[in-house]
């Protein structure tokens, strides 16, 4: 019997400002054509939860990116994370993220090509305004909602390394994980 693994594919830069428009029904069909099971899309920003017998998320990234290029005639960087990787990430959120203070909390998922603790060396943050932490597979960034305009990290999109990342707000990551748990339990 083949073991099925539950994954989330996080597509970068689709359906943003009218660029790289990808209908979710077509995206789901693309994943199903790849032989993935229990395919679910979540919101229009390119979150696909699915099951596969493939044990290596990096192999899945390559396979998915090739299929996306063929199906949508666009190069779409994709980050794939297993249910265990998402659980580990959520289990180790900064304590301040769990407070009730008004803040924006982003999970910046890293492609394996840039996933290393030293990635923070080239990123500037403003002390007292924002916080940035590295976790395997992601950067965790937060700022008080009243300080967003003062943040240095808002300039991250100008950095070439930004092409190797995809950003999700914390609530989206939690919802993706909840869907993963439901699929994993079935």
pLDDT of residue 184: 93
pLDDT of residue 21: 85
94: its two tokens:
């900064």
pLDDT of residue 55: 93
Residues 6+ apart with CB under 8 A from 155: 124
**Strand locations in the chain (E):** 5-11, 37-42, 47-52, 78-82, 103-110, 130-135, 138-144, 165-169
Question: Given pLDDT bands bounded at 50, 70 and 90, which one contains residue 1?
Answer: low
d(CA 35, CA 53): 9
pLDDT of residue 56: 93
Question: Given pLDDT bands bounded at 50, 70 and 90, which one contains residue 119?
Answer: very high
* Of 176 and 21, the one with more pLDDT: 176
Span 58-78, pLDDT tens digits = 999 999 999 999 999 999 999
| DSSP assigned state of 111 | -
Question: Given pLDDT bands bounded at 50, 70 and 90, which one contains residue 128?
Answer: confident
């Amino acid at each position: 019997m083949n073991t099925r693994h539950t994954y989330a594919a996080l597509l970068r830069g689709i359906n943003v400002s009218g660029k790289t428009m990808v209908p979710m029904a077509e995206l789901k069909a693309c994943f199903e054509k790849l032989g993935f099971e229990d395919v679910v899309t979540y919101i229009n920003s390119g979150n696909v939860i699915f099951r596969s017998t493939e044990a290596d998320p990096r192999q899945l990234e390559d396979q998915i990116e090739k299929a996306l290029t063929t199906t949508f005639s666009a190069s779409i960087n994709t980050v794939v994370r297993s249910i265990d990787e998402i659980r580990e990430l959520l289990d180790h959120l900064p304590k301040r993220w769990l407070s009730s203070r008004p803040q924006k909390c982003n999970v910046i998922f890293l492609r394996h090509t840039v996933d290393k603790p030293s990635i923070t060396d080239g990123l500037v943050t403003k002390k007292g305004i924002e916080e940035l932490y590295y976790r395997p597979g992601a950067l965790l960034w937060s700022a008080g909602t009243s300080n967003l305009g003062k943040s240095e990290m808002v300039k991250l999109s100008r950095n070439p390394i930004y092409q190797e990342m995809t950003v999700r707000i914390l609530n989206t990551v939690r919802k993706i994980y909840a869907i993963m748990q439901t699929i994993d339990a079935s």
